[in-house]
A = this chain, B = another copy of it.
């Protein structure tokens, strides 16, 4: 088909990959490859095809194509606590890296970890190629992914079985490292500022802190309920200070944001020097943890490497469905801040 015949007003509707191939002087399958994410095409070929596609106003219909290939070239990302400083970076990285592979990201932002039901019902309808999940799923929900042959990868939490892949930071080792350092520096009485009840990550950190302290013979802890938020930490610290228990030597917080809330409250409302009178540690390494006001002692998660692994692992399983599920555990990076007296082992 010559280009001249395309100059009518219904140009867009009529243009097919064959028209582009004819104008570019290449085969139709070469045109097709140019629009297939991950397919190998020479720079020269791509330039020719893109030039011809532009001239003709051609674009492949991703929806129609996905029905033919049975792939939608999209992944679901389920994320909770999006406003809580850690996940925006994770999401930005995932979005960018999938996008570079020509994969679209369908986002499901949950208010809390346990409300995944609605997200899943939309995911089943949509037939995504895979899902990265940073929220809690039930065993039945996890099993449903397997039943539907949709690769599932948990981000920063473990599946608890081989029913899904997982990328996570070693919460236990990171917490153990900090708590041992606190004990070595002479801290003897501790408060545990916990995460929200439905958070797996919070539970893992709490358990590790408890086990490490117990090994050192410290079992009488001040337990504070938190929810990963600044305000939750502020309320918990007020409650602790008002309830006439002795002020602890150190507060082990479930994440950075609650550690920041603890520091601000101890300083501003109770005139305590951090770390001279009380040490505070967090977990995550979010941006504000390094702000001069806080200088948080924490474990930084290697987000760029972790998200890269998540993207790679999902795409491998979309390409090769028979691959077994795998888990990759990343070591956090200890950040020595000014908010805690710690002696490294």
Contacts and interface: CB of A to CB of B under 8 A. Distances in A.
A111 B126 CA distance: 28
Interface stretch (A40-48, A192-200, A239-247, A285-293): A285-293
Contact of A291 (B63, B230, B292): B230
Interface of A is mostly: helix
B260 A291 contact: yes
Contacts of A118: 99
B122 A102 contact: yes
B91 A82 contact: yes
Number of copies: 2
A35 to B, nearest CB: 8
Interface string A73-87: 010010000110101
A63 B294 contact: no
A64 interface: yes
A62 B107 contact: no
Interface residues of A, number: 53
Contact of A63 (B60, B63, B102, B269): B63
Interface string A210-254: 000000000000000000001000000000000000000000000
A264 B127 CA distance: 48
Contacts of A111: 96
A125 B92 contact: no
Nearest to A103: B122
A287 B83 contact: yes
A95 B108 contact: yes
Interface string A272-299: 0000000000000001100111100000
Interface in A27-69: 35, 59-64, 66-67
Identify which of A95, A292, A294 gathers the most chain B CB atoms within 10 Å of its CB: A292
A302 to B, nearest CB: 16
A142 interface: no
A106 B105 contact: yes
Contacts of A107: 77, 91, 95, 105-107
Interface string A174-195: 0000000000000000000000
Interface of A: 35, 59-64, 66-67, 72, 74, 77, 82-83, 85, 87-89, 91-92, 95-96, 99, 102, 104-109, 111, 118-119, 121-122, 124-127, 230, 260-261, 264-265, 267-269, 287-288, 291-294
A-B complex: 8 closest residue pairs judged by Cβ atoms: A95-B109, A88-B88, A264-B292, A62-B125, A82-B92, A293-B293, A107-B107, A268-B292
12 contacts: A59-B124, A63-B126, A82-B88, A83-B287, A85-B88, A88-B91, A95-B109, A104-B122, A105-B107, A105-B108, A106-B106, A264-B291
